[in-house]
Amino acid sequence: MKNENTSKKFLLEFFKDSDIEDKEGVLTINNASEDFEKFIGKKSPYKFVFDIYTHNKINNSDLIMQGSYFLLAIRDYLENKGQTSLVKIQAIPSKSVLSKLKGERKFYEFSFITTYQYLNDKKQSLNKFFIKDEKILDIDVSKFKTHKGNKEDIKDFDPSEDYQIAKKKLHEKVSAEIKPIKSVLKKKLERELTRIKDHYAKQIKEKDDEVDSCVNKIKLLQSKLRHTSYERDRNIIMRLIRESHERLKMLKKRSYKERLKVEEEFHIKDEVEKHALSIKNTLINITAYYF
Amino acid sequence: MKSSKIICSESPLDKPNEKTYYENNLKIVEGFSNEDLKIIEKIKNKEFESRQIFELKLKSEETAKQSEIKELISYPLIKKNLTYNLPHQQEGALKILRDLDGRALLADEVGLGKTITAGMVLKECIVRGFVRRALILTPPSLVNQWKEELKTKFELDFTEINKESEWEKTEFAIASIDKVKNFNPQTNEFKHGQAHQIYWDIIIIDEAHKLKDKNTYRWKFVDKLQKKRLLLLTATPFQNDLIELYNLLSLLRRGHLGTISEFRSNFLVDGNERQPLNPRELKRKLSEVMIRRRRDEAKGVKYMKRIPRIQSVEMTPSEKRAYEQVVDLLLVHYLDFNGVPINTVLAAHSILPKITSSSKSSIEFLENLINNPKYHTSTVEIAQEILQDFKELTIDSKLSKLIDLMNEIMARDKSKKVLIYTKHPATLEYISNTLKKQNFNVTEFKGGLTPAEKTKRIQDFKDKTQIMVSTETGSEGLNLQFCSIIINYDLPWNPMSVEQRIGRLDRIGQKSDIYVYNLATKGTMEEHVVDLIINKMCCIGLIMGELPIILFNMGLDSSGATGANKFEEKLMHAFIDSKNNLSRFAIEVDKVENEINKGIKDYEKTKKYTSELLDT
């Protein structure tokens, strides 16, 4: 239900300029913007439903749930929009805040989305940093009275240096955020690597044992040969020695150790890749504040 | 660790400023997007946008945020293309992704839709952004069927790999495993070794039981593929012994069942490779990597019977004479311009089906021959004589039989829909025109129609007309569950093509038993071929999807020397060797039948063996 409320509220806001009908669990959007229709490749009306039962009942409905396809598409539609904003602060709430804003009359807010992807999981986090003159600002802008800024009020904007600081700060935050993920992945990976290493160690040992047993067999046969005088028995033993030598030669010729090592490395690499953690940091907005 | 060139991985970073580092073997790739610099430039250029859009965007990130996999977010996209809802398919896909980390042996019984379950895994991974490069390996005869299912049900375009150079540029690749496994002993390399240079986000292998022997190139080719997720699909993970199962699982998780010596001592009774020592423990180990459901466990799956009906057609003496003359022309007098006999196997492959299809297509063949300068004058002269005989025919017994049959069907139930198949467009027109003259409502369906025309004609057949006459070309992917009667006016000599024809009706969602009518002209080889393919192969109670497995197991589904399907080639050879002597042809067909029976028996044995271990 919480999911339905959040998603529904969001859809109402996103389609606020369209005709919206909300009836019997179906949210119908009648005339979405042409731009959006073109992007998504489907003309409105869109019939949004929020549970599978209604979805099965209503023809051509789109099931909305956390992370569902339609919501992903809206996110993609907004991807390159709203990347920059300018906000004028009307009044500074207190002297203590004012003391933080010494120097230039502007500062920047950097908003990053970080996506962590590993195995079949994907997590996201939003991080915002306020930076003024290459220093982090500990500030709550929601307490300010603000309105849309006028770009003519400020001569120039260059957030490049502050961006570097924000990046550094983000890296620190991300490092802390990934600790639990890393711990889970390391445990899982370790288990898989142990399986592979054990498997190949045992395989090599089994082959080694085979070689040893072959060598021992030859020694035993040679000793027998020395103590045998019957021609027929000697012939049999000599044949057995020959066969064991051939077997030994074959075992060694195939250089099993090298071959198994290569195989082991391949599977280790496969598991390492499978358990890799990918972190994607995307700057989604810079807001310039001035007062 | 041996370094290997990786062409592409699923990393979601688009050419970012990224760095890779390792912490206790854990690989971490961290990056920033290049887009950042563009945003800084925008600020510098005083290009500002509304803050409200940014706030909306933040909310969109929140609602689109995917959590752990609890449900298939791609299902609504797939559902609209499916005519049924089978919960076990979704459950299977979820389990593979959530519990098995995308590496699994999907061993559902035949008929439960393993392809659909695998497709759901694939689509979910794509929608969630986990997969950028995917590979599907299938038996040769199933490549097109897979492509079609992926396109129509999952809206995914896979490109078939034929040449080695095609690997690098193909992100969604599909290939016949028989084709790509070729090994060149001279260079000691796989012909398609390029596939091993790519890091695949997901690989799906259909009918994976063929990977039972680790000493084969097929097994080695798959083992060398670098992959993050691997799905092996087979209803029978072992056929002769449990070592095959061990080999299959070695591809999924090396060492999962220990070394081969450990496996033998832990799981096999004293060297008996068929008898498990500790079945409960073996099943427990299997459950860690395998999903298996039986048909009787799956809700909503109902299987309909196929009821074969052979309609014998008695030729008139003049028809029989014309037919024999044309066969004789093909076998004895088919000469090129220089008087050299033309390859009989190839000729038989391309021409015989036309001759047996209808008098109309026989006339078409003869007219083409007469007007083509590449034939010897004696061949042309004979063809002219036969053509005259064909044109003088006043009765078409096969077509009369079809009309009688249609009247009989309609007399029983006027509301019934009938699908008539022919291989040849000329025959299609001929049948269609004749039926229309008899006041039947007919829809024609053939190659070359646009997607919109196709949809319209299907709708017409569903809502308005009684009959649809169709060729195979263009009818791939059709779902005609609302129809339960099929008439094969002529029959392809390839059982896979016949299966596909019947498969248009015999799908999940079909509510009636399916009547398979076949017109077979007495005194021709058609009589024997129809009996073999329909009565002994396609309508013997196998579940849809089992016949292709049997033919694949027997090595009969790939192409033979002439390029024709091997099974078809066998029949062509039988026909040529018999020199149009029907008794001899019948003996040859019996031999093929015995071979097929053995294949079916072997398959049933394997099924029983698999079931004894996995389902009890």
pLDDT (0 to 100) of residue A145: 85
pLDDT (0 to 100) of residue B6: 32
The residue that leads in pLDDT, B63 or A72, is A72
How far apart (Å, rounded) are the C-alpha atoms in residues B207 and B550?
A: 11
Cβ burial, residue B211 (10 Å; 0-12/13-18/19+): buried
> What would the DSSP string read from start to end of B76-121?
HHHHTT-S---HHHHHHHHHHHHTSTTEEEE-PPTTS-HHHHHHHH
* Chain B partners within 8 Å of A68 (Cβ): 73, 76
Task: Please give the single-letter amino acid code of residue B1.
Answer: M
Contact A33, A19 (CB under 8 A): no
Distance from CA of B199 to the nearest CA of A (A): 9
Residues of chain B within CATH 3.40.50.300 domain(s) are 306-311+395-614
How far apart (Å, rounded) are the C-alpha atoms in residues A158 and B194?
A: 48
pLDDT at B269 over 80: yes
Closest partner residue to B32 (CB to CB) among A167, A272, A278 is A167
The residue that leads in pLDDT, B345 or B546, is B546
The residue that leads in pLDDT, B68 or A60, is A60
pLDDT (0 to 100) of residue B332: 84
How far apart (Å, rounded) are the C-alpha atoms in residues A251 and B297?
A: 49
Distance from CA of A35 to the nearest CA of B (A): 15
Distance from CA of A243 to the nearest CA of B (A): 23
- Which residue of B lies nearest to A287 if distances are taken between CA atoms? B51
Contact B257, B249 (CB under 8 A): yes
Query: Measuring CA to CA, which residue among B84, B100, B156 is closest to residue B127?
Result: B156
Distance from CA of B187 to the nearest CA of A (A): 18
* Chain B partners within 8 Å of A270 (Cβ): 226-227
Closest partner residue to B61 (CB to CB) among A75, A186, A272 is A75
How far apart (Å, rounded) are the C-alpha atoms in residues B118 and B107?
A: 11
Contact B107, B91 (CB under 8 A): no
The terminus-to-terminus CA distance of chain A in angstroms comes to: 42
Contact A117, B12 (CB under 8 A): yes
Q: Note down pLDDT in tens along chain A; length 291 residues.
A: 455 678 888 899 999 989 999 998 899 999 999 999 999 888 899 999 988 778 878 888 888 877 777 888 898 899 888 999 999 988 776 777 667 667 778 899 999 999 999 998 888 899 999 998 888 988 888 888 888 889 888 888 899 999 999 999 999 999 999 999 999 999 999 999 999 999 999 999 998 998 999 999 999 999 999 888 888 889 999 999 999 999 888 887 768 888 899 999 999 999 999 999 999 999 999 999 988
Contact B585, B575 (CB under 8 A): yes
* Chain B partners within 8 Å of A115 (Cβ): 12
* Chain B partners within 8 Å of A151 (Cβ): 46, 48
Query: Measuring CA to CA, which residue among B489, B485, B572, B582 is closest to residue B530?
Result: B489
* Chain A partners within 8 Å of B9 (Cβ): 273
Cβ burial, residue B165 (10 Å; 0-12/13-18/19+): exposed
Backbone CA torsion sign across B8, B13, B15, B17: negative
> What would the DSSP string read from start to end of chain A?
-HHHHHHHHHHHHHTTTS-EEEETTEEEE----HHHHHHHT-PSPEEEESSHHHHHHSTTEEE--TT-HHHHHHHHHHTTSS-EEEEEEEE---HHHHHHT-SSSEEEEEEEEEEEEETTEEEEEEEEEEEETTEEE---GGGSEEEE--GGGSS----HHHHHHHHHHHHHHHHHHTHHHHHHHHHHHHHHHHHHHHHHHHHHHHHHHHHHHHHHHHHHHHHHHHT---HHHHHHHHHHHHHHHHHHHHHHHTTHHHHHHHHHHHHHHHHHHHT-EEEEEEEEEEEEEE-
Closest partner residue to A74 (CB to CB) among B35, B44, B60 is B60
Distance from CA of B79 to the nearest CA of A (A): 9
How far apart (Å, rounded) are the C-alpha atoms in residues B304 and B507?
A: 9
Are A195 and B4 a contacting pair at CB < 8 A? no
* Domain covering B306-311+395-614, topology: Rossmann fold (3.40.50)
CATH number of B75-297: 3.40.50.10810
Q: Rounded to 5 degrees, what angle do the CA atoms B384, B389, B392 make?
A: 125
Contact B198, B6 (CB under 8 A): yes
For residues B489, B493, B498, B501, the Cα torsion angle rounded to the nearest 10 degrees is -50
pLDDT (0 to 100) of residue B474: 65
pLDDT (0 to 100) of residue B452: 81
The helix/strand count (H/E) of chain B reads as: 23, 21
Q: CB atoms < 10 A from the CB of A217, how many?
A: 16
pLDDT at B393 over 50: yes
pLDDT (0 to 100) of residue B64: 76
Are A124 and B61 a contacting pair at CB < 8 A? yes
Q: What is the DSSP letter of B135?
A: E
Q: B102 is written with which tokens?
A: 């995308």
pLDDT at B608 over 70: yes
Q: A20 is written with which tokens?
A: 């919206």
- By three-state DSSP, how is residue B603 classified? helix
- By three-state DSSP, how is residue B494 classified? coil
Average pLDDT for B534-548: 89
Best residue in A282, A286, A289, A290 for a mutation probing chain B (most B CBs within 10 Å)? A282
* Chain A partners within 8 Å of B129 (Cβ): 117, 122
Q: Lowest-pLDDT range, A203-212, B27-36, B254-263, B445-454?
A: B445-454
Closest partner residue to A122 (CB to CB) among B43, B62, B128 is B128
Rounded to two decimals, the ipTM of the complex is: 0.82
Are A82 and B57 a contacting pair at CB < 8 A? yes
Are B42 and A84 a contacting pair at CB < 8 A? yes
* Chain A partners within 8 Å of B13 (Cβ): 278, 280
The residue that leads in pLDDT, B613 or B170, is B170
Chain centroid to CA B521: 30
Are A284 and B46 a contacting pair at CB < 8 A? no
Best residue in A66, A74, A84 for a mutation probing chain B (most B CBs within 10 Å)? A84
The runs of H, that is alpha helices, within B189-316 are: 217-223, 242-252, 260-267, 279-287
Closest partner residue to A284 (CB to CB) among B48, B57, B77 is B57
Contact B494, B560 (CB under 8 A): no
- Which residue of A lies nearest to B260 if distances are taken between CA atoms? A203
- Which residue of B lies nearest to A283 if distances are taken between CA atoms? B36
Closest partner residue to A267 (CB to CB) among B69, B97, B254 is B254
Contact B13, B33 (CB under 8 A): yes
Are A6 and B2 a contacting pair at CB < 8 A? no
Rounded alpha-carbon distances, angstroms, from residue A115 to A74, A281, A282, B13, B257: 18, 7, 8, 10, 36
Query: Measuring CA to CA, which residue among B563, B599, A143, A125 is closest to residue B607?
Result: B599
pLDDT (0 to 100) of residue B613: 83
How far apart (Å, rounded) are the C-alpha atoms in residues A59 and B463?
A: 20
Distance from CA of B77 to the nearest CA of A (A): 8
* Chain A partners within 8 Å of B10 (Cβ): 117
The terminus-to-terminus CA distance of chain B in angstroms comes to: 43
pLDDT (0 to 100) of residue A53: 77
pLDDT at B354 over 80: no
How far apart (Å, rounded) are the C-alpha atoms in residues B103 and B290?
A: 9
How far apart (Å, rounded) are the C-alpha atoms in residues B335 and B343?
A: 9
Instruction: Specify the residue for token string 């269609």.
Output: B432
Cis before A45 (ω within 30): yes
pLDDT at B12 over 60: no
- Which residue of A lies nearest to B220 if distances are taken between CA atoms? A263
Are B56 and A78 a contacting pair at CB < 8 A? yes
pLDDT (0 to 100) of residue A218: 93
pLDDT at B456 over 60: yes
Contact B343, B383 (CB under 8 A): no
Q: CB atoms < 10 A from the CB of B181, how many?
A: 20
pLDDT at B8 over 70: no
Query: Measuring CA to CA, which residue among B234, B218, B228 is closest to residue B181?
Result: B218
- By three-state DSSP, how is residue B573 classified? helix
Rounded alpha-carbon distances, angstroms, from residue B64 to A26, A40, A76: 20, 15, 10
Q: B244 is written with which tokens?
A: 């095959």
- Which residue of B lies nearest to A268 if distances are taken between CA atoms? B1
Q: B176 is written with which tokens?
A: 């016949």
pLDDT at B440 over 60: yes
Q: Which residues of A7-41 are buried (b: 16+ CB within 10 A; e: fewer)?
A: bbebbeebbeebeeeeeebbbbbeebeeebeeebe
Chain centroid to CA B389: 41
Are A66 and B65 a contacting pair at CB < 8 A? yes
Closest partner residue to A120 (CB to CB) among B28, B33, B130 is B130
pLDDT (0 to 100) of residue B563: 67
How far apart (Å, rounded) are the C-alpha atoms in residues B76 and B73?
A: 7
- Which residue of B lies nearest to A13 if distances are taken between CA atoms? B56
For residues B585, B587, B589, B590, the Cα torsion angle rounded to the nearest 10 degrees is 170
Could you write out the three-class secondary structure of A246-279? HHHHHHHHCCHHHHHHHHHHHHHHHHHHHCCEEE
Are A85 and B254 a contacting pair at CB < 8 A? no
Rounded alpha-carbon distances, angstroms, from residue A220 to A210, A223, A238, B378: 15, 5, 12, 83
Q: Lowest-pLDDT range, A109-123, B397-411, B440-454?
A: B440-454
Per residue in B495-509, pLDDT (tens digit) is 988 988 998 898 777
pLDDT (0 to 100) of residue A159: 93
Are B54 and A111 a contacting pair at CB < 8 A? yes
User: Which residues are bridge partners to A131 per DSSP?
Assistant: A108, A136
Closest partner residue to B51 (CB to CB) among A270, A282, A287 is A287
* Residue partners of B605: CB distance under 8 A and separation at least 6: none
How far apart (Å, rounded) are the C-alpha atoms in residues A53 and A62?
A: 12
Average model confidence (pLDDT) for chain B? 88
Distance from CA of A44 to the nearest CA of B (A): 17
* Chain B partners within 8 Å of A284 (Cβ): 54, 57-58, 61
Residues of chain B within CATH 3.40.50.10810 domain(s) are 75-297
For residues B249, B252, B254, B256, the Cα torsion angle rounded to the nearest 10 degrees is -60
Closest partner residue to A68 (CB to CB) among B73, B97, B261 is B73
Are B25 and A190 a contacting pair at CB < 8 A? yes
Per residue in B275-323, pLDDT (tens digit) is 788 888 999 999 999 999 988 888 777 888 999 999 999 999 988 888 8
Contact B572, B582 (CB under 8 A): no
